[in-house]
Amino acid sequence: MEKGKQIKIWAGAAAVLVIVLGAVVYLVSGSKEAEPEYVFTYAENQTEDYPTTLGAERFAALVEERTQGRIRIRVYAEGVMGSESEVIKQMRYGGIDFARISIAQISDYVQEMSVLQLPYLYDDSAHMWRVLDGEIGERFLEYPCEYGLVGLSWYDAGARNIYCATPVEKLEDMKGLRIRVQEAEMMSDMITALDAQPVQMPYDRVYEALERKQVDGAENNWSSYETMRHYEVAKYFTVDEHIRIPEMQICSVHTWEQLSGEDRRIITECARESALYERQLWTEHEEQARENALANNVQEIRLTDEELAKFRTAMAPVYEQYYEDYGDVIEEIMGK
């Protein structure tokens, strides 16, 4: 064969190969850009860099990866889809697909959730996770179903503590103090049981109320205390960890019913992996918030075991309200 013909043949073959490879690349890239089968919404009321939001983003990424792009979840942070109570209402009618919600809000619909908010219910963080990651936690994840919500996993929100403009080192120091609480009756009952005066008000009004001495103190976790700069007007932070209110990743029943059994399994698996990630982030975030607060001359007060026991004993009237209906599960939780 002549040399010129060989060159033409090889050139032709190379051209064909380029075309074939180009077609393959086009098909592969085209498949990656293909429209997903489902595009779902996820409501989150915290900022983009908050542990719960980062957990939501991890959840969305895991779902998209494990469904090979068939399911895409778009996370809307900073409350753009409404307050938590508004989000729940929309989810019950299929207006929002996924969310992370405090059980303090869910308990307005699911009365059983109130049990998990009882003051001094857990000895510590490890005790709470033994409960929630076990059979008891599985039961509580199922309770919202009859109200149009599917529980997927448990997120951390830390422990709430008391902080004031004056030091609280013993139970007697609480007497007569005006303490801001969430707009929830159980929280008011708890403060009343401590011989203080509960003042229900929105979260965004607390700084001003402390500054103007309309209240003497408030209660929340380290992260919220530091983020909202409440340390500027309430320098004494008493670590009593009176309440641990976990948060729940939930899915609308309307969305859940669209999914195959395999997709439900994947979504639940991803939700629980994201929860472990969020808990790690929360621990780091809370410790950093604590260090920042202490660097701003906050006095951290840790109650003695004897004093903490007095705070717990004072909760008897609160427990009496729930013991008749939920006594068995309360004892089951305390025994873990």
CB burial of 179-189 (b: ≥16 within 10 Å; e: otherwise) equals bbbbebebbbb
- Neighbouring CB atoms inside 10 A of 7's CB total 10
- 107 and 126 inside one domain: yes
pLDDT score for 33 = 54
In a domain, 260, yes or no: yes
pLDDT in tens, 146-180: 999 999 999 999 999 999 999 999 999 999 999 99
Nearest alpha carbon to residue 54 among 41, 63, 44: 44
Bridge partner residues of 301 (DSSP) = 238
Q: Are residues 87 and 131 in the same domain?
A: yes
Q: Are residues 196 and 214 in the same domain?
A: yes
Same domain, 128 and 215: no
- Assess whether 201 and 214 both reside in one domain: yes
> What total number of domains does the chain contain?
2
- 92 shares a domain with 181: no
Say yes or no: 70 and 197 in one domain. no
Residue 7 in any domain: the answer is no
Residue 14 lies in a domain: no
Domain hosting residue 185, numbered range = 159-244+288-334
Q: For residue 321, count other CB atoms closer than 10 A to its CB.
A: 14
Q: Are residues 47 and 188 in the same domain?
A: no
Residue 126 CB burial class (10 angstroms; 0-12, 13-18, ≥19) = exposed
Per-residue confidence (pLDDT) for residue 278, from 0 to 100: 98
Residue 34: band (very low, low, confident or very high) from pLDDT cuts 50, 70, 90: low
CATH of the domain at 260: 3.40.190.170
pTM: 0.83
